[in-house]
Structure 1
Amino acid sequence: MAKKIALSWSGGKDSCMALKKLVDANHQVVSLITTVPKELERTFAHGEKTEMIQRQSNSLSIPLHFIRCSFDDYTESFIQDLIQLKNQHHLDSVAFGDIYLEGHREWGENVAAAAGLEALFPLWCQQQDSLSLLSSFIQSGHKAAVIRIREDSLDDSWLGKELDDDFFNNIQKQTVCPLGENGEYHTFVYDGPLFQSPVSFTRGQVLSEGASKRLEIHPLV
């Protein structure tokens, strides 16, 4: 039976893969959910400008809901907004793009239960299957670029790299999860079969942020 689903959306490859799985299963994704610090117009997940996430939403033709919160009330705000979305869209479920980290799954299941929703994890697999999942994303025809790296895992040369066959081959030479599930790298998806048109952007400066570095991306008019 088709379900009405809200999808936790970071703007990266995992969110995109989760969306594709849900669409292929004939479910109706009625809302994308992105958390944003109250004082900033950038996402909690990867630090993108909210405008870039909105442009993804527009191209995907799926409404976007920003959960504006702080670190202190993150979970409480997530639950409250889920309840609002549940009532607004008659949701059955909330989906997450987590892959194999049990702590992340537990959090997702807990917030879903608190909102009276089913928690879905379309990508859930064993850690050893992560390379196969990366291959599936590359072969899907979607396009993504690396916009953030953890400095203790990858060097600056990875910023801006496209997720393609070369990336697939080279990431296996690194001592990291091929999918970056432990935060080794993050991506921005900007085109592919799910998109009506590319989300065009230019690459800007590299910014240091604690233990990570982020490639600033700017929307093209």
Structure 2
Amino acid sequence: MTKKVALSFSGGKDSCLALYQLQEQNIDVACLVTTVWKRNQQTVAHDEKRDRIKDQAESFNIPVHFIETDFDTYKTDFVETLKELKRLFAIDGVAFGDIYLKGHREWGEEVAKEAELKAFYPLWSKKADALDLLREFVLLDFKAEVIKVDATKLPQEWVGRRLDEAFIQAIMQQDVCPMGESGEYHTTVFDGPVFRYHLRD
């Protein structure tokens, strides 16, 4: 059984909820691993600043390792970093916050296999259960806000919205995944049960 993992960490709701679930299962999250683009040093997909991720990691009291990468070398860079983390922390697995997209899971399982690790998906569930995950996130008293949206799927005005009961009711009226699994929206998290202290007002 997997006992010690690296967590692929974006700074958003999925990876923070995954961290919570792992800790609830008494799985040791030895480190976080975050991919950033070489060209601008911002996180892949979220366009978040490295300093924000560092602040979160410090609040968790978990070290974070950044993978500086680009489209051409993304997979190779990820695998090689996992091999390094395996040596440094004696991890036997790598965890991801993906929920139901099979292609994402297949990619994670492939890079884990190449690094001779087990892939772990603490949030994996059916697409129909995504709303329940969002409700769980809010009920656990995580504090988060939207930092990026796919403007073809959600209004740009949603940037800055807090994830709360009103958000749940609003997202239910949209033709999107409530958890934004297909990139409909991205978030940053600044408080919750995995944080030792609140990061901002």
Interval of TM-score (by shorter of Structure 1 and Structure 2): over 0.9
What does 1:43-192 correspond to in 2, within 5 Å?
43-192=43-192
**Any conservation in 2 of the 1:31–1:64 contact (CA below 8 Å)?**
yes
**Any conservation in 2 of the 1:2–1:26 contact (CA below 8 Å)?**
no
Tell me the TM-score normalised to structure 2 length: 0.98
**Cα shift readout 1:41-89 (whole Å, capped 9, x = no counterpart):** 2111300110000000011100000011111000000000000000110
CA RMSD of aligned residues (A): 1.0
Partner amino acid for 2:51? Answer: E
Greater helix proportion: 2
**Any conservation in 2 of the 1:2–1:28 contact (CA below 8 Å)?**
no
Secondary structure of 1:31's counterpart equals strand
Taking the aligned partners of 1:95 and 1:39, their CA distance within structure 2 comes to 26
Taking the aligned partners of 1:48 and 1:67, their CA distance within structure 2 comes to 14
Residue 204 of structure 1: aligned partner: none
Partner amino acid for 1:42? Answer: Q
Residue 213 of structure 1: aligned partner: none
**Cα shift readout 1:8-31 (whole Å, capped 9, x = no counterpart):** 000000001100000000111010
Partner amino acid for 1:136? Answer: E
Kindly state the Cα deviation for residue 39 of structure 1 after the two structures are TM-superposed: 2.4
- Higher RCO (Cα < 8 Å, 6 or more apart): 2
Taking the aligned partners of 2:140 and 2:192, their CA distance within structure 1 comes to 8
**Any conservation in 2 of the 1:5–1:93 contact (CA below 8 Å)?**
yes
Partner amino acid for 1:83? Answer: K
Unaligned runs of 5+ in 1: 202-221
Tell me the TM-score normalised to structure 1 length: 0.89
Kindly state the Cα deviation for residue 193 of structure 1 after the two structures are TM-superposed: 1.6
**Any conservation in 2 of the 1:35–1:45 contact (CA below 8 Å)?**
no
Residue 217 of structure 1: aligned partner: none
**Any conservation in 2 of the 1:34–1:66 contact (CA below 8 Å)?**
yes
Task: Tell me which stretches of 4 or more aligned residues in structure 1 moved more than 3 Å.
Answer: none
**Cα shift readout 1:133-170 (whole Å, capped 9, x = no counterpart):** 11000001111100000011111221111100000111
Taking the aligned partners of 1:129 and 1:49, their CA distance within structure 2 comes to 31
**Any conservation in 1 of the 2:145–2:188 contact (CA below 8 Å)?**
yes
**Any conservation in 1 of the 2:41–2:68 contact (CA below 8 Å)?**
no
**Any conservation in 2 of the 1:4–1:92 contact (CA below 8 Å)?**
yes
Greater strand proportion: 1
Taking the aligned partners of 1:92 and 1:135, their CA distance within structure 2 comes to 31
What fraction of aligned residue pairs are identical, expressed as a percent? 49
Q: Aligned pair count? A: 201
Partner amino acid for 2:156? Answer: D
Partner amino acid for 2:71? Answer: F
Residue 36 of structure 2: aligned partner: 36
Residue 12 of structure 1: aligned partner: 12
